[in-house]
Chain A
Amino acid sequence: MASADSDTTPAPPAADPGGHIPLAVKILVAGGFGVGKTTMVGSVSEIPPLSTEEVMTEASMGVDDLGGVEEKSTTTVALDFGRITVNRQVVLYLFGTPGQGRFWFMWDELAEGALGAVVLADTRRLDTCFPAVDFFERRKIPFVVAVNRFDGAYAYEPEEVREAVDVGPDVPIILTDARERQESKSVLLALVEHVMRQRSPAVSARPLP
């Protein structure tokens, strides 16, 4: 792997001495355009985020809701992801999910077997995270809402965000800074704990209020 070749690969998680490869676990990072999904993936990934792409048909061109975020027109949809080797048994992949609802075809494949999801929200454009919330609620994929604090955005309380996004009291709402590794890590921990609570029989047997 010491070659100076341009496509030298970051070393994949090593197989353990018995020849076993680690179990691959997937967490999705979803949210609207420009909300910081790739930033978050990059802040916790052990490799620089990789990007692959899927070809987009012309039928979906020209309907991007950019909301004045940036000029963006492309014929491919990029899928950014990172990797965290948790230990020799488990390797975690984080996939930044294309934000627009018209990419359902990719969401289906991405959601297949996903442990859970982080819905990144920007309080200045909260509505851009609604498609992701709807998607995960419908598929019964556990998720947390992480509010990325942008400079200059009004600092809403988590409960205000919960009301605006209209998610149940059991969904964790976390204020975060997607640029900070520790904060992004906390969001992932909150998600894993949330998934564990959901799977615990004691919790699921709890009578509804």
Chain B
Amino acid sequence: MDADRSTVAHDPGRLVRPFAIGIDGTPATAGLGLLSRVAARRPPGPADHLRPERESLLRLAAEPQSVAELSALVGLPLSVAKLLIADMIEAGDLEPCTAEPQLSGDDVLQVLLDGLRAL
């Protein structure tokens, strides 16, 4: 169940876990926002077992997934998740996805309005 996740906001809080995730150099996270979407370019392989966070990200991003969701699902603070994702993009394991701009600004609002009304 996801009960644990949905009650996190009411949780009295916890201490920050000590992190030790190896990242070569300092990947550029500047282009990554909360809603940037990335997709895995390959499925996780046997060599990824020793790097569980990367293995999870490869699996979670089998379909394009947002940075915010990946951060939440893999259980890493946003800034850490972004570093890791940027590192994996540089390594060619993940690729950024962009939505085709099929809609202009006003069209987006109308689509949103109609869609919400229909829910």
Please report A residues at the B interface, Cβ cutoff 8 Å: 5, 7, 9, 11-12, 14-15, 18, 20-26, 38, 42, 44, 48-55, 71-76, 78-81, 83-84, 86-87, 89-90, 92-93, 95-96, 109-110, 112-113, 115, 185, 188-189, 192-193, 195-196, 199
Contact = CB atoms under 8 A, between A and B. Distances in A.
Interface residues of B, number: 52
Nearest to A18: B100
Interface of B: 2, 5-6, 8-10, 12-16, 33-35, 37, 56, 59-60, 63-66, 68-69, 71-75, 77-79, 81, 97-103, 105-106, 108-113, 115-117, 119
B77 A52 contact: yes
Contacts of B37: 21, 24
A63 to B, nearest CB: 15
Contact of A50 (B5, B77, B103, B112): B5
B12 A71 contact: yes
A50 B33 contact: no
Contact of A55 (B13, B79, B98): B79
A23 B98 CA distance: 8
Contact of B13 (A42, A75, A90): A75
B2 to A, nearest CB: 4
A24 to B, nearest CB: 4
A50 B2 CA distance: 9
Contacts of B117: 189
Given A7-B73, A23-B99, A48-B6, A15 B63 contact: yes
Choose among A53, A80, A86, A95 the residue with the greatest number of B CB atoms under 10 Å from its CB.
A53
11 contacts: A15-B63, A22-B99, A49-B5, A50-B69, A52-B77, A54-B78, A75-B16, A87-B111, A90-B111, A189-B113, A192-B116
Contacts of A93: 34-35, 66, 68
